[in-house]
Structure 1
Amino acid sequence: MPDPLAEIVTLLQPSAPFTKRASASGPWRVRRTDLAQALYVLTIAGRANLELDNRPPILLQTGDFALVPAAQAFTMSSVDPPPPPGLLNLPLRLDDGTYRLGPPDAPPQVQQLLGHCVFASPDAALLVPLLPDVVVVRGADRLGVLAGLVADEALAERPARDIVLQRLLEVLLIEALRARAETQASPGLLRGLHDPRLSSVLRQIHAAPARGWTVAELARAAGLSRSAFFTRFQREVGLPPMDYLMNWRMTLAKDLLRHGRLGIAEIATRVGYGSASAFSTAFSRRVGCPPAQYAAQHGGSVSADAQATLLG
């Protein structure tokens, strides 16, 4: 049976445009407000505070790994000693390619590996909200190894570098997301998969997206009444079950249109529509353009039978 988490991470098409090793001493604080990317931080030694807007500070200690799938802004600061109000530092790039905060000749009190991750998928806006807002894993030995491999590959110029980086990042993200976080995840796929009643339902949806699912049928699969299932699914996953199913069908359809050479009718069947016209109508309403036009705009192609639906 397909693994929903693995499918979503793979479809996100992660890449690593920037990774760095940083050390710090004394009081320090850095802030980024223009990131709009996934952020991951591995604390190799020492302690630091990670602050995300509208959240209390998160203390990161030696061996801790933090992942923020959609970081718009963040602040990182010293703990021992705390920075004075208003202090902001600019990292200094050293000759060895690492970055330094505080006096460059002082013994480092904190060492971290930081990386930014971008998602190449055009469907990232649909998929990222299914992930937790932030994940913190304590004593993340396996994640430390993976993060080190990502950094090593990102800083090197080896053949097939981009492909290796994408695969390493997929494993890194899956490992971080499936690890037990210290706090309850925000509503999304991860919380749904940890709910014993909803996990099997989500896996069944991903295993058979073309099936004519109803709320009543999904509720029976979860062993709940229809109203209890609807309320629980929306609370844990963050959207109603039929909206989740529709989003997943459209995500699969767009992926097939971008990368496949299938006709509209075959794609319609694969994502649960009885006819090409019904699929085209639903796709246009959801995406804003007909399927064949979407394929042409995103470098895909469809077989000859689809061309007549380009404008309808």
Structure 2
Amino acid sequence: MIDPLAEVVTLLQPHALLSKLVSGAGAWCVRRTETGQPFYCVVLEGGSRLEVDGHAPIDLEAGDFVLIPSARDFTMSGLQPTLTSGGDPSEVSILENEIRHGDPSAPPDARLLVGHFSFGSPDAKLLVSLLPKIVHVRNESRLSTIVALVSQEARQQRPGRDLILAHLLEVMLIEALRSTAGIGTPPGLLRGLSDPRLSVAIRCMHEAPAHPWTVKELAKETALSRSAFFERFNRAVGTAPMEYLLAWRMALARSLLSRQLPITDVAEQVGYGSASAFSVAFTRVVGLPPSQYARETADRRGSSEFKG
């Protein structure tokens, strides 16, 4: 059976960029304005406060894991107010095995493993939009073990490092996301998959993207009326069923084109009866014809391999 969540994570093509150990003591505060890179953090000792723009502050404790699939503006600090605890909250020191924020001579109030990675998929923005804006998992030992393996592998230059990291990051993402899946999850793929009726429709679209699905047919698969299915899907996933199907078909098409498959084959695999119909749809969504997209993808790959 096709697993939609695993498919989305695999298409995202995660790559490790940075993993480091940080600690905070006394008055400390870190403000980051990121470029949309995925960010993760696991609290190893103590506690800290995470404030992400648009979300209520989260007090983190030892064993907590946080994932922000597209990190923009966020702040991490100690649990005590920085204005009353003294010291310079922006002070940074390089200690023997970690980066210290706040007082370099005091015992740490918090010790954290933080990391950044990137998504190699050209559809990353689209695919990330299907995921929660922030993932917070508490006391999940499996996840902590995976994060530790990511950190260890990222610090070493052993044979097969990049391949192992790519698979570990995929596992980490899936484990983190499914640990928070539920009815209370914000609109997106996870919430849709947590609904027993809607998950049937989502799996149908992923298992047979070339099938000429209609709202009526998908509603029948879920044993709901057409209107009830449409409203329920829109509310849970955050997009209409046919819009989700189109987005998924285009994500698959980009992946297939990047492998230099003939356009006629790609068109058939994503549900278009002719290459011309597929080209019109692809150009409208992506902004350039599939032939040009395939050519530019090949040029970028060749340039990257030459530099490597």
Where in structure 2 are the equivalents of 1:144-293 lying within 5 Å? 144-180=144-180, 184-260=184-260, 262-293=261-292
Unaligned runs of 5+ in 2: 300-308
1:226 CA displacement: 1.0
Aligned AA (1:130): L
1:105 CA displacement: 2.6
1:45 CA displacement: 1.1
Query: 1:17 touches 1:118 (CA, 8 Å); kept in 2?
Result: yes
Aligned residues: 298
SS of residue paired to 2:252? helix
Q: 1:81-124 deviations in whole A, cap 9, x for unaligned?
A: 3211896414322233x111222232222111111121111110
Aligned AA (2:42): L
SS of residue paired to 1:286? helix
Aligned AA (2:197): R
Out of 197-206 and 30-39, give the one that drifted further: 30-39
Give RMSD over aligned pairs.
1.9
Q: 1:168-214 deviations in whole A, cap 9, x for unaligned?
A: 10000000001136993221101100011101110111000000000
> TM-score, structure 2 length as denominator?
0.92
Query: 1:51 touches 1:74 (CA, 8 Å); kept in 2?
Result: yes
Structure 1 distance, partners of 2:134, 2:76, is 15
Instruction: Tell me the residue number matched to 1:60.
Output: 60
Structure 2 distance, partners of 1:181, 1:61, is 21
Query: 2:89 touches 2:101 (CA, 8 Å); kept in 1?
Result: no
Q: 1:28-70 deviations in whole A, cap 9, x for unaligned?
A: 1111013421111101111111100021101111101111111
Instruction: Tell me the residue number matched to 2:119.
Output: 119
Structure 2 distance, partners of 1:141, 1:258, is 37
Q: 1:269-288 deviations in whole A, cap 9, x for unaligned?
A: 11001111111111112112
Structure 2 distance, partners of 1:289, 1:40, is 34
Aligned sequence identity (%): 53
Instruction: Tell me the residue number matched to 2:298.
Output: 299
Query: 1:138 touches 1:182 (CA, 8 Å); kept in 2?
Result: no
SS of residue paired to 1:100? strand
Taking a change above 3 Å as real, the CA distance of residues 297 and 90 of structure 1, as seen in their structure-2 partners, is farther
* Structure 2 residue 74 is matched with structure 1 residue 74: yes
Structure 1 distance, partners of 2:183, 2:284, is 38
Instruction: Tell me the residue number matched to 2:306.
Output: none
Aligned AA (1:289): L
Structure 1 distance, partners of 2:220, 2:245, is 16
Query: 1:45 touches 1:111 (CA, 8 Å); kept in 2?
Result: yes
1:299 CA displacement: 0.8
* Structure 2 residue 8 is matched with structure 1 residue 8: yes
Structure 2 distance, partners of 1:182, 1:199, is 12
Out of 124-133 and 158-167, give the one that drifted further: 158-167
SS of residue paired to 1:280? helix
Instruction: Tell me the residue number matched to 1:310.
Output: none
Taking a change above 3 Å as real, the CA distance of residues 107 and 93 of structure 1, as seen in their structure-2 partners, is same
Query: 1:133 touches 1:185 (CA, 8 Å); kept in 2?
Result: no
Structure 1 distance, partners of 2:74, 2:183, is 19
> TM-score, structure 1 length as denominator?
0.91
Taking a change above 3 Å as real, the CA distance of residues 51 and 26 of structure 1, as seen in their structure-2 partners, is same
Query: 1:137 touches 1:181 (CA, 8 Å); kept in 2?
Result: no
Out of 98-107 and 117-126, give the one that drifted further: 98-107
SS of residue paired to 1:298? helix
Taking a change above 3 Å as real, the CA distance of residues 282 and 127 of structure 1, as seen in their structure-2 partners, is same
SS of residue paired to 2:20? strand
Where in structure 2 are the equivalents of 1:123-138 lying within 5 Å? 123-138=123-138
Aligned AA (2:291): A
Structure 2 distance, partners of 1:211, 1:124, is 24
Unaligned runs of 5+ in 1: 301-312
Where in structure 2 are the equivalents of 1:105-116 lying within 5 Å? 105-116=105-116
